[in-house]
Structure 1
Amino acid sequence: MNQRLIDAHIHLDMYDEAERIHLMDSLKDNSVNALIAVSNNYESSIHQLELSRSDSRIKPALGYHPEQQLPSEAEVQSILKLIDENHEKLIAIGEVGLPYYLRKEQPKLEITPYVELLETFIKKAVQWDLPIVLHAVYEDAGMVCNLLEKYRVSRAHFHWFKGSDDVLEKVLSNNYVISVTPDVTYKPKIQRLVKQTPLSQLMIETDGPWPFEGQFTGQTTQPSMMHESVRTIAELKELQPEVVYREIFETTKTFYRIMN
């Protein structure tokens, strides 16, 4: 059975060196063809580019993660310059989006500057015809959909999606894609989401090194965990695993225009 996988979202630079070496060494044995390596800030973006030069399976995405304080204008310009200088080497713009969890911790946090920053990255994705990797959960996903529509973005990836049926319907009706993590194996809400999402708009990821529970408790997050995600998705959709492997692999490969 063909069991090829692509990790659609991983913070590769956040693993320590020994963990990263082990992870990369294990990819072939676990049929993992590629990693979409997203960035958190300027330093992270530099690191992802460096890692991608060492191994063609690492596909870099540059951006600024929204669940932190706003970057300085100098840092924003440095990231944008890095994107411009390396756009032909990039797989996407990301991770970018809106600070849902930070606003829960800081209710008075002003959202407008984050929306403006996201718009800046959306424009850059449009400029270079790159997909955009989004941190936009719950009601924020609806807000982000409106921005994407404004700039006529066609390739948007809502990673580790969480949200209402109405928001999911809006995401899917725009032909955007979502991804789920290994928590699909033990979280009923994520399982329900999978049942509602066509395979043609579904990808899988680890969001590593974020840790997981259930059968993964205490383990360092690895792309090999996605095999369990596939098996769960197959059960939920009442399909043979080989069908799910093939469809999700092709969806991810096509979305990110991965040639090898």
Structure 2
Amino acid sequence: MDFPVFADDLDVVLCDCGEEGVTVIVANGVNPESNRKTVALAKKYSLIKPALGYYPTHVWEDGLEAVRKELFWIERQRPVALGEIGLDYKECETESQKEMQRIIFKEFIALGKRLRVPLIIHSRKAEADVLAILEEEEAEKVILHCFMGKKKLVERARDLGYSFSIPVSVTKLDQLQWLVRHVPLRQLLTETDAPYLGPVRGERNTPANVRRSVERIASLVEMTVEDVANQLFMNYQRLF
């Protein structure tokens, strides 16, 4: 919610969320500047809860010393979750860049245990490594954000008890629809990844669109929208 595209009308965006039945927005920080903006937004708006993290590609861009300094700051803020964190191999050019991400990912997992908060995890082109590290480090309260791994990896994560956060693109992507049908509803959450991954390509996404995810999930699992929404909120309460 700290992106510039929301700067001029955030009050309106949040009002729209309330009208669509959104009761909580977990906003994710992705770097030091973003983390501080997220904390400020959470202090201003009761609807917003702060998750603080470090986007994987920023890790090797900024270096271990800078990231560890931010980890120390994050721990003192007592966020509701750690995110967005994880691995992203799409833009990595060297093995050392990947290794730096893995080092910091493990340190965030350890911090999550100390704070006893959920981990909101990014895993682009690195799904197998993400699951291997989570299992190796005995991670707790795992939320896989927009997970696009192969079916066998979805099943592995499901069997480990991890949760999956489903974006609005579930309305059109077969892969996400398969995931919804093969993971228990108690292990699902919803997200928008606003301002990205909106229902219409090229248009700004907002948290109010999460209702579209709930409606599509309801149709896939053959339940009412109300029952699905209630279960999703209970899932949130259990994790957070």
Both proteins in one fold, TM over 0.5: yes
| Whole-angstrom distance in 2 between the partners of 1:217 and 1:117 | 33
What is the DSSP-based 3-state SS (H/G/I as helix, E as strand, rest coil) of the residue aligned with 2:50? strand
Q: Name the counterpart of 1:91.
A: 80
Of stretches 143-152 and 126-135 in structure 1, the one that deviates more from structure 2 is 143-152
| Whole-angstrom distance in 1 between the partners of 2:197 and 2:182 | 25
Q: Which residue, out of 51, 72, 88, partners 1:81?
A: 72
* Structure 1 segments (4+ residues) deviating >4 Å: none
1:146 equivalent in alignment to 2:137: no
Check whether the contact 1:45–1:63 (CA below 8 A) recurs between aligned residues. yes
Deviation at 1:163, TM superposition (A): 1.0
Aligned AA (1:99): D
Check whether the contact 1:178–1:202 (CA below 8 A) recurs between aligned residues. yes
Deviation at 1:56, TM superposition (A): 2.2
Check whether the contact 2:85–2:105 (CA below 8 A) recurs between aligned residues. yes
1:207 equivalent in alignment to 2:193: yes
1:101 equivalent in alignment to 2:90: yes
Q: Cα gap change, 1:39/1:236 in structure 2, threshold over 3 Å: closer, same or farther?
A: same
| Whole-angstrom distance in 2 between the partners of 1:133 and 1:172 | 15
| Whole-angstrom distance in 1 between the partners of 2:198 and 2:94 | 27
- Structure 1: give runs of 5+ residues left out of the alignment: 1-11
| Whole-angstrom distance in 2 between the partners of 1:244 and 1:150 | 32
Check whether the contact 1:154–1:175 (CA below 8 A) recurs between aligned residues. no
The alignment's C-alpha RMSD in Å is 1.8
Q: How many equivalent residue pairs?
A: 238
| Whole-angstrom distance in 1 between the partners of 2:17 and 2:119 | 25
- Structure 2: give runs of 5+ residues left out of the alignment: none
Q: Which has the higher contact order (CA 8 A, sep 6+)?
A: 1
Aligned AA (2:99): T
Per-residue CA deviation, residues 76-127 of structure 1 (Å, 9 max, x unaligned), is: 133112222112xx11111111113213xx4767311110111111111111
Per-residue CA deviation, residues 172-208 of structure 1 (Å, 9 max, x unaligned), is: 1111100111111111121111111110001110000
Aligned AA (2:64): E
- TM-score, normalised to structure 1, is 0.85
Check whether the contact 2:81–2:120 (CA below 8 A) recurs between aligned residues. yes
What is the DSSP-based 3-state SS (H/G/I as helix, E as strand, rest coil) of the residue aligned with 2:34? helix
Aligned AA (1:30): E
| Whole-angstrom distance in 1 between the partners of 2:179 and 2:75 | 36
Check whether the contact 1:161–1:178 (CA below 8 A) recurs between aligned residues. yes
Q: Name the counterpart of 1:4.
A: none
Deviation at 1:217, TM superposition (A): 4.0
Deviation at 1:218, TM superposition (A): 4.7
Deviation at 1:149, TM superposition (A): 2.2
Deviation at 1:51, TM superposition (A): 0.9
Check whether the contact 1:203–1:252 (CA below 8 A) recurs between aligned residues. yes
Q: Name the counterpart of 1:233.
A: 217
Aligned AA (1:199): L
1:20 equivalent in alignment to 2:6: no
Check whether the contact 2:192–2:198 (CA below 8 A) recurs between aligned residues. no
